[in-house]
Amino acid sequence: MSAADEVVGLFAIPLLRAPAVLPRALVNALVTHFSAAAVRDNNASAQLSHTAMLRPGDSPLLVEAAARITPKLAEFGALLFGEALGWGLKEMWVNVLDIGGRQAMHNHANSFISGVVYLTPTHPDSRTVFMKSPGGTDFVFRNDLAATAPGAFNADKWVSPPPEPGDMVLFPSYLMHAVPPNAGTRRITLSFNAIPTRLDSWGYTVGFTG
């Protein structure tokens, strides 16, 4: 391409990485309080368990976490919908991934923004992976061989950078994601789904309650 050529990234999918959203003292308290409550099995892996679906009011720790997360939801929501809206956390849960455990590819229904706060260190091989939706609008035949150079316009997955405890990612709930087999020590995360207070399409308004 010449210097005068311009490449435009059309209709990008935003993902927000926010460092140190939760302070270390709160992170440690969440791990201590909720890791023992993660007793619900996940059919994706025998080494993956999670708590029941929780609401912020279920624990003072979650109230504090929600107070720190919610302003970021408003900022990210303005990117998705073009307007600063009120946002509420619909549900929160803690995941415990032991050695060898994995999370299969999935997305989150009945919500608009989903997020993960990392509560423990993450092994480099067990970072969250985000993927293009299967059966999307790509060409049916791909150019896929050792010589290709993956980039923003041809890659089918993106591996998130290594997070520190307290770091958070926010993404549209429809975005597919997964966690490869955990090659490190126990990996604990706080996940959540959020909804706006309302959406308005030229006077046709829908309200949501958490």
Which is more confident, 209 or 9?
A: 9
Average pLDDT over residues 171-199: 96
Token pair 């092994």 in the structure block, residue: 123
Topology at the third CATH level for domain 16-135+152-195: Jelly Rolls (2.60.120)
Please give the full DSSP string across 60-112, using - where no structure is assigned. Answer: HHHHHHHHHHHHHHHHHHHHHHSS---EEEEEEEEEEE-TT--EEEE--SS-S
Q: What percent of the chain has pLDDT over 70?
A: 99
Per domain, the residue ranges of the chain are: 16-135+152-195
DSSP string, 115-169: EEEE-S---GGG--EEEPPTT-SS-SS---STT----TTT-SEEEPPPP-TT-EE
pLDDT of residue 136: 67
- Residue 77 contacts residue 85 (beta carbons within 8 Å): yes
Q: CA–CA distance from 83 to each of 112, 200, 204 (Å)?
A: 14, 10, 16
Burial environment of residue 34 by CB neighbours within 10 A (0 to 12, 13 to 18, 19 or more): buried
Q: pTM of the entire structure?
A: 0.94
Q: What is the C-alpha separation between 191 and 207, in angstroms, rounded? A: 23
The angle, 0 to 180 degrees and rounded to 10, between the axes of the packed helices 24-34 and 60-81 is 110
Cβ-contact 89, 77 below 8 angstroms: no
Mean pLDDT on 171-186: 96
> At which residue do the structure tokens 């010449």 appear?
2
Name residue 55's amino acid: R
Per-residue pLDDT of 95-145, as tens digits, reads 999 999 999 999 999 999 999 999 999 999 999 999 988 776 677 787 888
Q: What is the pLDDT of residues 5-50, one digit of tens each?
A: 999 988 999 999 999 999 999 999 999 999 999 999 887 789 999 9
